[in-house]
């Protein structure tokens, strides 16, 4: 099976047209959104600035792919985020995940995608930083601190921006492959931006086999959990369904501990799929496991039209959108473009204007990190590292080992 790491060197050159299928990107229909600026062309012959031209103010966060600092440009006084690229485990040069992320973020420019301004270097080859716009919050941390979930009109405002950003990615032949609330940033102007493109990659038509060890477990589509060798934009749309449910309820929709447990939680809520509703389901590698047959879709019980018990409510139109995002058959799952045109966004309450979104005090430095350590340890980080190691070694675990 061809994995992401088997692609040739064209996959990691820094250019806006880089793809598995360049001809198809050139002929692909351009975005119709008037708000989206054109792609940038980056002059890679220009030398990189030194990181010493930035004053590091504090550490914001540390994830699987790098440390992020809040910093100030000494020349302009602008506050930015500095993301240090992790290099210590690389045996063969620059990390592929970072090359992909830099490639994508430098070539794209959209209001709902975090803006990478430049790449700067430290005193040695192991010190490389991406200079990004500073955003005060990530949605996961923000929801942990909030006493009440976002209102319906606020969720609509956030989901509209999210669908716009994902439509832009898909229109430009990019899969994010790790959409989750901690990878969505929010500033105090009500602007949502997608970040962390370490697992993103360009794709083409016809589809090629890619690794199924992508997307954090709670947001991972069932076709990935069942070992599908080919997948496309539908995996990102499933993640958006999980995110929409989480914004409404302030808690993850499917919080499994293992791949099997994740599938079990999905099947208990949505019913166990079969060939009728998902043609090709029985041919997936993971289906050799005997799952308990859950007959009914119970999602409406989690999101009723009216509630006297405090459950998050969702109108018929809102539930229709959620159901279409969480459709088992990837071929029938709603696209980002169709989601943007869904009736839910045109009914009362209407999406709140970004200018009227609530503001929150910025979580600086240790506050944000300590809150996560004490209140919400991420049970998925070690699994992510394990899965990435397995992918590098060419082995697979879980349901299809």
Rounded to whole angstroms, the Cα distance separating 249 from 303 reads 9
- Active-site pick, 18, 178, 196, 236: 178
Q: Is residue 178 annotated as a catalytic residue, yes or no?
A: yes
Q: What are phi and psi of 192, to 5 degrees?
A: -100, 140
Three-state secondary structure call for residue 257: coil
For residue 339, give the H/E element and its range.
helix 336-340
Q: What are phi and psi of 217, to 5 degrees?
A: -50, -45
Measured from the Cβ of residue 271, the count of other Cβ atoms closer than 10 Å reads 17
Rounded to whole angstroms, the Cα distance separating 229 from 3 reads 9
Cα separations in angstroms, 216 against 323, 347, 385, 387: 21, 32, 11, 10
> Closest by alpha carbon to 196, among 60, 127, 100, 90?
100
Rounded to whole angstroms, the Cα distance separating 382 from 379 reads 7
The rounded radius of gyration (Å) of the Cα atoms in the chain is 21
Rounded to 10°, the helix 234-249/316-325 angle is 140
Q: Where in the sequence numbering do the catalytic residues fall?
A: 178
């Amino acid at each position: 099976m061809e994995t992401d790491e088997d692609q040739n060197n064209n996959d990691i050159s820094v250019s806006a047209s880089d793809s598995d299928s360049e001809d198809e990107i050139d002929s692909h229909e351009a975005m119709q959104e008037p708000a989206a600026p054109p792609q940038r062309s980056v002059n890679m012959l220009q030398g990189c600035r030194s990181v010493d031209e930035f004053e590091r103010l504090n550490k914001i966060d540390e994830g699987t792919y790098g440390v992020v600092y809040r910093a100030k440009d000494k020349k302009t006084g602008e506050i930015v985020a500095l993301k240090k690229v992790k290099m210590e485990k690389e045996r063969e040069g620059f990390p592929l995940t970072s090359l992909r992320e830099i490639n994508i973020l430098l070539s794209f420019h959209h209001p709902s995608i975090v803006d990478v301004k430049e790449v700067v270097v430290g005193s040695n080859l192991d010190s490389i930083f991406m200079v990004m716009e500073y955003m005060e919050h990530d949605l996961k941390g923000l929801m942990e601190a909030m006493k009440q979930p976002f209102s319906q009109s606020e969720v609509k405002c956030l989901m509209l921006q999210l669908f716009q950003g994902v439509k832009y990615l898909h229109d430009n032949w990019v899969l994010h492959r790790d959409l989750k609330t901690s990878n969505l940033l929010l500033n105090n102007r009500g602007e949502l931006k997608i970040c962390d493109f370490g697992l993103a990659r360009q794709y083409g038509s016809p589809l090629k086999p890619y690794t199924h060890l992508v997307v954090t477990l709670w947001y991972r589509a069932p076709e990935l959990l069942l070992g599908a060798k080919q997948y496309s934009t539908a995996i990102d749309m499933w993640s958006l369904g999980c995110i929409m449910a989480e914004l409404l309820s302030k808690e993850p929709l499917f919080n499994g501990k293992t791949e099997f447990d994740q599938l079990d939680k999905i099947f208990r809520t949505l019913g166990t799929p079969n060939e009728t509703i998902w043609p090709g389901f029985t041919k997936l590698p993971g289906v050799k496991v005997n799952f308990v047959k859950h007959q009914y879709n119970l999602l409406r019980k989690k999101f009723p039209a009216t509630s006297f018990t405090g459950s998050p409510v969702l109108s018929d139109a809102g539930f229709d959108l959620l159901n279409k995002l969480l459709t088992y058959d990837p071929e029938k799952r709603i696209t980002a473009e169709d989601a943007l045109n869904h009736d839910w966004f045109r009914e009362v309450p209407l999406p709140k204007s970004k200018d009227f979104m609530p503001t929150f005090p910025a979580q600086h430095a240790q506050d944000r990190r300590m809150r996560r350590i004490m209140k919400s340890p991420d049970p998925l980080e070690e699994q992510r590292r394990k899965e990435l190691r397995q992918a590098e070694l060419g082995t697979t675990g879980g349901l299809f080992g």
